[in-house]
Amino acid sequence: MRITEMIQSKKVGGQLSEEQIHSLLRGYARGCVPEHQMAALIMAVWFNGLSRRETIEFTRAMAESGDSIPPGSFLPCSSADKHSTGGVGDKTTLVLGPLLAAAGVIVAKMSGRSLGHTGGTIDKLESIPGLSVHLSLEELVSKAGSIGLAVGIQTENLVPADQKLYTLRDATATVDSLPLIASSIMSKKLACSADTLLLDVKVGEGALLPEIADAQELASMMVEIGNSAGQRTRAAITDMNQPLGCTIGNALEVTEAIDTLRGRGSSQLRHLCLFLGSHVLALCDDDTEPEENYRNLASLLSGGEALDKFSEFIENQGGDPRITEDTSLLPQAEEMVEVRSRKCGCVCGIRTSEIGAAAQKLSAGRDASGQVRDPAAGIVLQKKIADEVQCNELLATLHRGSTADARIPPQLIDRVRSAFCIGETRILPPQLIRALVTDEGITHLKDHCVDNSVG
């Protein structure tokens, strides 16, 4: 294997063979490929991209670089996985996982942490007293098989090539390469061997991808990769021009997820979870339609079965299931400060990235060592886009956790206030679900019926 030849080929826009790609990533995972040569190669990929064939092989090679869940581990039941590209206030896994398990689908999910404004799914779950996410692949399979749902943190030998490569991409400013993003996400999904996969690709001001064209391209890549590997895959492209739901912060988001599982909470979050779940069930069973599945899943929320499954999941992983009845058992804020409007009108926009940055300043995010600074910290929104606002009306509440060094400063209150754009003209809420991507192509949707209300 001549790494310099591969670098030269990609540098001038050439393509790598299947054998070259697999040899490269196998060698890199084993430490046989120097970091400086891999850095040069991925920089060439950043400039010249990968073809779809190369992207599929790149993903397969990474998925095969370590341990995996054996295909068919949950037969005769259907198994499903879900992945979101993230955003501000994204807690869909906490609702969708129990909902699918209550519907009879097995969800064995490997999730990660985040280095951003709040934690990832793992950090949110770790705000639940006693809950453990450190599961071997065997434990993940066993726990999911017993109750239908298990969530664990990515193990060291699950796709080790991707773990090394992501660190290198971060250090070389190549994280935003679409083929490398697609391969990173899908390699872990292929290694977990679910029968079906639903991808939630966020687009907008608070997302990894602000532009709809890039979101569509990434979604199409990942759907093709999944289907080519025999994993029935669809993707939804969903809005992240405002936070999802009404909370940003780990324990706060667990509380909102519980409210949603009770049939209350944000109608926006509820609708998204039901939509995503309806398409998972359609992938699992060709004889069902998403509209029928949506109604059946809604009945599992209203009937309490999904909440019961979440309680069972918490107990199965060592956590305190009483939180589903008493959320005050979750970490609580030491200080809460209101942010009020200085004008009246209509919320015509929210600078979502600013809300996320403010949550991080409150210690809801991660520090340099990778630890969540305070699970109780975060922001609760009282107003969303299209809501009417009176002068001095409450926009948001800031939560400071017990580990913060000082009280909430006035500058942070002003920062959150200025993230709300208030105008005179009434507008509609933003379209929540923008498009559906299948193996047949992209279908653009009309979805203006979902408001932002809490009830």
Considering the domain architecture, whether residues 272 and 346 belong to the same structural domain is answered as no
Considering the domain architecture, whether residues 94 and 35 belong to the same structural domain is answered as no
Pair of tokens at residue 143:
């726990």
Query: 156, 187, 168, 161: which is closest to 27 by C-alpha?
Result: 161
Considering the domain architecture, whether residues 229 and 316 belong to the same structural domain is answered as yes
One pLDDT digit (tens) per residue for the chain, 455 residues = 689 999 999 999 999 999 999 999 999 999 999 999 999 999 999 999 999 999 999 999 999 999 999 998 998 889 999 999 989 999 999 999 999 999 999 999 998 776 555 668 999 999 999 999 999 999 999 999 999 999 999 888 999 999 999 999 989 999 999 999 999 999 999 999 999 999 999 999 999 899 999 999 999 999 999 999 999 999 999 999 999 999 999 999 999 999 999 988 899 999 999 999 999 999 999 889 999 999 999 999 999 999 999 999 999 999 999 999 999 999 999 999 999 999 999 999 999 999 999 998 898 876 555 555 789 999 999 999 999 999 999 999 999 987 766 789 999 999 999 999 999 999 999 999 999 999 999 999 986 455 565 44
Distance CA 137, CA 53 (A): 29
Considering the domain architecture, whether residues 21 and 155 belong to the same structural domain is answered as no
Predicted local confidence at residue 406, as pLDDT: 76
Contact, 415 vs 231, CB < 8 A?
A: no
Side-by-side strand order, sheet with 394-400: 247-248, 378-381, 394-400, 335-340
61 occurs within a structural domain: no
Number of domains in the chain: 3
Torsion of CA 17, 208, 82, 191, to 10 degrees: 30
Considering the domain architecture, whether residues 128 and 244 belong to the same structural domain is answered as yes
Considering the domain architecture, whether residues 313 and 348 belong to the same structural domain is answered as no
- Domain span at residue 29 reads 3-49
Across 218-344, the runs of DSSP E, i.e. the strands, are 232-239, 247-248, 335-340
243 occurs within a structural domain: yes
Known catalytic residues? 83, 162, 169, 184, 188
Taking each continuous run of H as one helix and of E as one strand, the counts in the chain are: 16, 14
Rounded to the nearest 10 degrees, the angle between the axes of helix 92-102 and helix 250-261 is 30
Considering the domain architecture, whether residues 113 and 172 belong to the same structural domain is answered as yes
360 occurs within a structural domain: yes
Considering the domain architecture, whether residues 298 and 337 belong to the same structural domain is answered as no
Considering the domain architecture, whether residues 179 and 293 belong to the same structural domain is answered as yes
Considering the domain architecture, whether residues 199 and 275 belong to the same structural domain is answered as yes
Residue 27 is part of a domain; what is its CATH number? 1.20.970.10
Predicted local confidence at residue 455, as pLDDT: 43
Q: What would the pLDDT profile of 147-203 be if each residue is shown by its tens digit?
A: 999 999 988 899 999 999 999 998 999 999 999 999 999 999 999 999 999 999 999
Residue 372 is part of a domain; what is its CATH number? 3.90.1170.30
Considering the domain architecture, whether residues 382 and 436 belong to the same structural domain is answered as no
Query: 48, 42, 41, 43: which is closest to 13 by C-alpha?
Result: 48
449 occurs within a structural domain: no
pTM assigned to the model? 0.93
Considering the domain architecture, whether residues 39 and 106 belong to the same structural domain is answered as no
276 occurs within a structural domain: yes
451 occurs within a structural domain: no
452 occurs within a structural domain: no
